[in-house]
Amino acid sequence: MKGTSNNRLLYILIGILFSFSSAYSQQQEKPFIKLVEPLKAINNANGAQQFIIGSTCKSCLLSINDEMVKVYPTGAFAYELNLLEGDTSFTIVASINDINSVSKTIEYNYSVPLPAEPVKQFGIESIQTFPDGNLLLRTGDKIKFKVKAYPGITAVLFNNIPLYEMPVSSTNGMTGIYQGMYEIQKTDTFQKFKIPVTIIDSLGKKSTKETRNLFSVMRESDSDIVITKGRLAHLEYGLGDDRLGGAKIGYLDSLIPLKIIGKVGTHYKVQLAKNRSAYIPDELVTLMPKGTFSPSALTGKWRIYGDSAYDYVNIELTNKLPYQSFQLTDPSKIVVDIFGATNNTNWINQLNSIKEIKDVQYEQIADDIFRITIQLKHHQHWGHQIYYKGNVLVVKIKQQPAELSLKKLTIAIDAGHGGTNTGAGGPTGVAEKNLALALSLKLKKLLEHAGAKVIMTRETEQFFDNKERILFYRDTLPDLLLSIHLNSSADPIHIQGTSTFYRYIGFRPLSNAIYKRMLELGLQEYGNNGSFNFMLNSPTEYPNALIETLFLSNPEEEMKMLDESFQQKMAEKIVEGVKDFLEGCK
């Protein structure tokens, strides 16, 4: 009984000390309000949904216009607004024990966008051309025009080419939308020419406006051949763009000739085959002198052989030509299309030293497209690289490692961002670059403990350009690449979850194995996403996966990522995912 009384007294004393410590800690803290969204006191809003995002002291109570707002243990908070039209003021108050407090007021001006109206006075409001941008054109090329002008009049391009007013059924009820097309003629010689559009009313009154873009016609004296330069020249499917850049077909070796058939803005349009074109940024090519031959070649001798780590398919060509490769699964194959090549091969020399190649076939699928199909022995793609040795096209194929154990593999870890490239930011102000590095270092330690050799682009807080990262890994050739990032969304409340990304179907098993393990942490799904156009997913030389761990923009997920013990658990799950991938390859 006496011992029990002593225990009770001890618990009471501990409680008093804890309460005193907590009260002292609160006295030491000072309330503050640090906003990451919005950054200005007065804001013009283009949508009703807005968010107030930021942080305060960890023991603070927070209210916005007298409504209590959840403060996370990190001090982070996020508050959703649904604005009404006009000016709205919001007062944010952070306080400790209702005694010590600070406040901040922000204002929004939200105007509901007015519906588009037809042109009310005689004139031309706008001219759009498709494709958009300054154009270099050839005979037969077409320029499409969309003009918004005063309704019910006559509209013409230069040379009196008519434009037609569209029915309101095809313009969402808008009158005065004129469309038409101009086809470049053999007699056209204009250079850096702004095309005029003229409208004429029933009394003969005229108004003219010129396009903002410049148009030029290719001359016979102009060169129509460029050659690729550098180690990362790439072809793009079209002119579309997003924050990751245009959709890439793939990388090309240097000094490969391409035939110019036009230019849009800074992108040359090149002809790969009779019915196949692509685009390439002008900074990635050198314009050749007039008289340079158009790219074409005959295939010659073949040699297929292997060494201790790679198999090789060597195809002799009479000239270097552009190419494209892609992966197939079930069964696993590498397909390479050579543009401008014509078959002149009568046999394929195959040596017994090959370990990964099961079979090689070729086919002339079009007059100017020569296709090589390489079937692999294993279901998993371990990577391939295409380059030239002189005029010999080499397809270098990674053999499946003899021992599928971390002890025998080289794993690359790419800690996203760094230096001036801070990446996303969280409500507390933490930068993606720092958390990506912290997780990457824990992952490195775990992989090395399992016996793997680990290489990293950065192990400290420093800037590292994405192109330099790709070239670094091309030169070091790891067995696998894991790229570590944190996701972000403009919506910090509803959008959350973990996700992985891959570009090529043959590398999907790696990202999928990691994704499944990440979900064991009780995280929401954001998907295992394919065909991802991120630079670090673009190499074909090795299986690679981009891991968007969690949404740093979400206060709850930011809190998890700031917790070093959670970082450790996440690193452990990534390692387990890699092990699952290797086990699935056996």
Q: Which helix (H) or strand (E) covers residue 22, if one does?
A: helix 2-28
Round the average pLDDT of the chain to a whole number and report it: 94
Q: Which of 447, 448, 401, 329 is nearest to 585 (CA)?
A: 401
Residues 387 and 348 in one domain: yes
Q: Which two tokens stand for residue 232?
A: 């990362």
Q: Is residue 117 part of a domain?
A: no
Residues 143 and 7 in one domain: no
Q: Which two tokens stand for residue 18?
A: 């804890």
Task: Label the pairing between strands 297-306 and 310-317.
Answer: antiparallel
Q: How many CB atoms lie within 10 A of CB 299?
A: 22
Q: Is residue 220 part of a domain?
A: no
Q: Is residue 537 part of a domain?
A: yes
- Can you give the pLDDT of all 586 residues of the chain as single tens digits? 444 455 555 444 444 444 444 444 445 689 999 999 999 999 999 999 999 999 999 999 999 999 999 999 999 999 999 999 999 999 999 999 877 999 999 999 999 888 999 999 999 999 999 999 999 999 999 999 999 999 999 999 998 999 999 999 999 999 999 999 999 999 999 999 999 999 999 999 999 999 999 999 999 889 999 999 999 999 999 988 777 778 899 999 999 999 999 999 999 999 999 999 999 999 999 999 998 998 999 999 999 999 999 999 999 999 999 999 999 999 999 999 999 999 999 999 999 999 999 999 999 999 999 999 999 999 999 999 999 999 999 999 999 999 999 999 999 999 999 999 999 999 999 999 999 999 999 999 999 999 999 999 999 999 999 999 999 999 999 999 999 999 999 999 999 999 999 999 999 999 999 999 999 999 999 999 999 999 999 999 999 999 999 999 999 999 999 999 999 999 999 999 999 999 999 9
With contact defined as beta carbons under 8 Å apart, do 534 and 501 qualify? yes
pTM: 0.92
Whole-angstrom distance between the N-terminal and C-terminal Cα of the chain? 65
Q: Which of 278, 273, 304, 568 is nearest to 446 (CA)?
A: 568
Q: How many CB atoms lie within 10 A of CB 371?
A: 17
Q: Is residue 240 part of a domain?
A: yes
With contact defined as beta carbons under 8 Å apart, do 184 and 137 qualify? yes
- Of the candidates 57, 86, 110, which is a domain's last residue? 110
Residues 63 and 93 in one domain: yes
CATH number at residue 273: 2.30.30.40
236-271 per-position pLDDT tens digit: 999 887 777 788 999 999 999 999 999 999 999 999
Domain membership of residue 144 as a residue range: 124-186+196-214
Q: Is residue 115 part of a domain?
A: no
Residues 424 and 554 in one domain: yes
Three-state SS for 509-543 is: HHHHHHHHHHHCCCCCEEEEECCCCCHHHCCCCCC
With contact defined as beta carbons under 8 Å apart, do 482 and 510 qualify? no
Residues 100 and 167 in one domain: no
Number of folded domains in the chain? Answer: 6
CB burial string 137-165: b at 16+ within 10 A, e below: beeebebebbbbbbeebbbbbeeeeebeb
Query: Residue holding tokens 């194959």?
Result: 333
Alpha-carbon Rg for the chain in angstroms: 31
Q: Which two tokens stand for residue 483?
A: 């790229």
Q: Is residue 529 part of a domain?
A: yes
Side-chain half-sphere of 144: how many Cα atoms within 13 Å?
Answer: 5
89-122 per-position pLDDT tens digit: 999 999 998 779 999 999 999 998 889 999 999 9
Residues 419 and 523 in one domain: yes
Residues 378 and 470 in one domain: no
Residues 447 and 577 in one domain: yes
